[in-house]
Amino acid sequence: MNTFTLVSPDSFDFSPFQMIGKDWFAVTAEKDGKFNAMTASWGGLGIMWGKNAAFIVIRDSRYTKECLDASEFFSLAVFGEEKYRKALGYLGKASGRDEDKLTTAGLTVSYHKNIPYIEEASCIFLCRKLCCQKITPESFLDPSIQDTWYRDKDYHNLYIAEITGVLKK
């Protein structure tokens, strides 16, 4: 079923604000032969340390963090179609600790060079972790961030990853 083509990250003309903040994306990683994915709507794309890079944040409480920490690689799946909104919503609410939530959501996992990704996406960013930094209360220069987003003290971890390839339908 794979209909993807490997393309250059430099060939894109899109709004990252639309793609990440409004369309959402799914982070997929694998630990001990078991894959997991979660919906994300915070992150970014850019250049870091001379590389095309993706920036994502994952809370300590998420099972996906365990999978990310156990693997050198992960993928970011961009859907851009309203018909996948319900499935992405499910990935954001259910825990992969307890079930194969991708199957429950009606999504299929495939692999590119041992990196898991979601087949139904329109675009896949293949990523290699470069850095992980815990976000702490001392990090905030604007105190309203703590009050608004971290009242429960479930802080994010910032991952910076090199985009090693892009698969596009």
Compute the distance between CA of residue 158 and CA of residue 169 in angstroms, rounded to an integer: 29
Which pLDDT does position 2 carry in this prediction?
62
Compute the distance between CA of residue 108 and CA of residue 121 in angstroms, rounded to an integer: 10
Which pLDDT does position 10 carry in this prediction?
79
How do the pLDDT tens digits run along the chain, 169 residues long?
568 888 888 777 777 777 776 777 899 999 998 889 999 888 999 999 999 999 999 999 999 999 999 999 999 999 877 888 899 889 988 888 888 889 999 999 999 999 999 999 999 999 999 999 999 999 999 999 999 999 999 999 999 999 999 999 8
Which pLDDT does position 82 carry in this prediction?
80
Instruction: Label residue 22 exposed, middle or buried (CB < 10 Å: 0-12, 13-18, 19+).
Output: exposed
Taking a C-beta distance cutoff of 8 angstroms, is the pair 162, 89 a contact?
no
Compute the distance between CA of residue 68 and CA of residue 144 in angstroms, rounded to an integer: 29
Residue 68 CA, distance from chain mean position: 10
Which pLDDT does position 1 carry in this prediction?
54
- CATH code assigned at 129: 2.30.110.10
CB count, 10 Å around CB of 25? 28
Nearest CA among 115, 122, 159, 127 for reference residue 51: 127
Q: What Rg do the C-alpha atoms of the chain give, in angstroms? A: 15
Which pLDDT does position 11 carry in this prediction?
78
Which pLDDT does position 144 carry in this prediction?
95
Which pLDDT does position 21 carry in this prediction?
66
Which pLDDT does position 97 carry in this prediction?
86
Which pLDDT does position 83 carry in this prediction?
85
Compute the distance between CA of residue 72 and CA of residue 68 in angstroms, rounded to an integer: 7
The whole domain housing 88 covers 5-168
Compute the distance between CA of residue 76 and CA of residue 73 in angstroms, rounded to an integer: 10
Which pLDDT does position 94 carry in this prediction?
86
Task: Please tell me the total count of domains within the chain.
Answer: 1
Which residues are CB-contacts of 103 (< 8 A; sequence separation ≥ 6)?
none
